[in-house]
């Protein structure tokens, strides 16, 4: 099975050339939710360069869960 784009790992910092990344999770008030959806949300994850501290990539795991349940089912069709 082919890996999806969101499973790819950033291996080189575009700012300093560092090759070690740290994954961090930002949650609480910083959750990401679909427009118009005031309930719930998903934590925001960051790949951070260990060498210079730059946030190299930000992403949400399972972004399809941001959709309302009925919209998720329609997207699967």
Query: What was the pLDDT predicted at 66?
Result: 81
Residues 6+ apart with CB under 8 A from 54: 13, 15, 16, 48
Question: What is d(CA 31, CA 71) in angstroms, rounded to the nearest whole number?
Answer: 20
Distance (Å, rounded) from C-alpha 77 to C-alpha 64?
Answer: 14
Q: Is the pTM of this model over 0.75?
A: no
Nearest-angstrom CA–CA distance, 4 and 58: 16
The predicted-structure confidence for 11-55, as pLDDT tens digits, reads as follows 899 999 999 999 999 877 777 877 776 666 788 899 999 999 999
Alpha helices for 1-77 (secondary structure H): 69-76
Gap between the terminal Cα atoms of the chain: 20
Q: Is the pLDDT of residue 63 over 80?
A: yes
């Amino acid at each position: 099975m082919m890996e999806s784009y969101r499973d790819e790992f950033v291996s080189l910092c575009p700012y300093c050339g560092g090759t070690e990344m740290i994954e961090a999770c930002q949650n609480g008030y910083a959750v990401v939710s679909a427009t118009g959806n005031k309930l719930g949300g998903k934590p925001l994850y960051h790949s951070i360069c260990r060498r210079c501290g730059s946030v190299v990539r930000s992403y949400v795991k399972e972004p399809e869960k941001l959709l309302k349940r009925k919209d998720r089912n329609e997207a699967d069709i």
